[in-house]
Amino acid sequence: MNWYEVVTYIVLFLMFLAGIRVVTTSNVIHAAISLVLALALSAALFLLLSADFVAWVLVLVYIGAVIVLFLFGIMITRAPLGVNAELDNEKKLIPALVSLGIFLSISYGLITSFSGEVSVESGATIEKIGLILLGRFVLPFEIVSFVLLAALIGGIALARKDAALISEDQI
């Protein structure tokens, strides 16, 4: 076993622990931080697989945007942060066993379906992807950027509207 395999197994184990922490913690903020860690470790796994573009897109899009949006949504909706009696359920053993069974059956199917040597060809570089994205697909790229900008402005307007309705006595 070389250092590459050791690092890969360490990253996978830490990613598994972070994923378990995401679904088992009762604090939403702690779950979001654990999700950031799990996503960062999956980006590290892509870096180990020499998929630089996928790794950095994962960091920018998921960690940089989705998690911020998730935390922003928690702050705006004033969601409960701790254990809530309505959301916490004591019957966790049966769903956990069903989930474990589904996980094991999918894992078995994946492991047995792939056999033999895998040939790896050099994929597209970041430069090639950038040339395609900003060359041939520049118009859809710009349209998506304007739609995202409009969504951001709309979210800020909705957040400010709710904040304006709260008087200083209620703070």
Domain end, chosen from 56, 84, 112, is at 84
What is the per-residue pLDDT across 20-61, written as a single tens digit (0 to 9) for each? 998 888 777 888 889 999 999 999 999 998 888 889 888 988
Half-sphere exposure of residue 156: CA atoms within 13 angstroms, side-chain side: 6
Q: What residues make up the domain containing 155?
A: 124-171
Q: Are residues 58 and 9 in the same domain?
A: yes
Claim: this prediction has a pTM higher than 0.85: no
What is the per-residue pLDDT across 98-131, written as a single tens digit (0 to 9) for each? 989 999 999 898 888 877 676 666 666 777 877 8
User: For the CA atoms of the chain, what is the radius of gyration?
Assistant: 21
- Split at pLDDT 50, 70, 90, the class of 88 is low
Residue 138 pLDDT more than 80?
Answer: yes
In angstroms, rounded to a whole number, what is the distance separating the alpha carbons of residues 151 and 106?
A: 37
The domain tally of the chain equals: 2
